[in-house]
Amino acid sequence: MEKERQKLIANNKKVFHDYFVEEKYEAGLVLHGTEVKSLRMGKCSIKEAFVQIDRGEIFVVGMHISPYEKGNLFNRDPLRTRKLLLHKAQISKLAGQCRQKGYTIMPIQVYFKDGRAKLEIGLCRGKKLYDKRQDIAKRDQRREVEKEFKVKNLG
CATH superfamily for domain 7-127: Small protein B (2.40.280.10)
Q: What integer is the mean pLDDT of 25-29?
A: 90
In which band, very low, low, confident or very high, does the pLDDT at 4 lie, cut at 50, 70 and 90? Answer: low
pLDDT at 94: 86
The pLDDT tens digits for 54-92 are 888 899 888 888 887 776 766 777 778 888 899 999 888
d(CA 117, CA 134): 35
Q: What integer is the mean pLDDT of 17-41?
A: 85
Asked whether residue 95 carries a pLDDT value surpassing 50, the answer given is yes
pLDDT at 96: 85
Which of 22-36, 66-80, 120-134 has the weakest average pLDDT?
A: 66-80
Instruction: Decide if 118 contacts 131 (C-beta within 8 A).
Output: no
pLDDT at 87: 92
d(CA 79, CA 155): 54
Which of 16-20, 93-97, 139-143, 148-152 has the weakest average pLDDT?
A: 148-152
pLDDT at 18: 82
Nearest to 110 by CA among 20, 35, 18, 22: 35
Q: How is the chain split into domains, by residue range?
A: 7-127
Q: How far is CA 99 from the centre of its chain?
A: 21
Asked whether residue 51 carries a pLDDT value surpassing 70, the answer given is yes
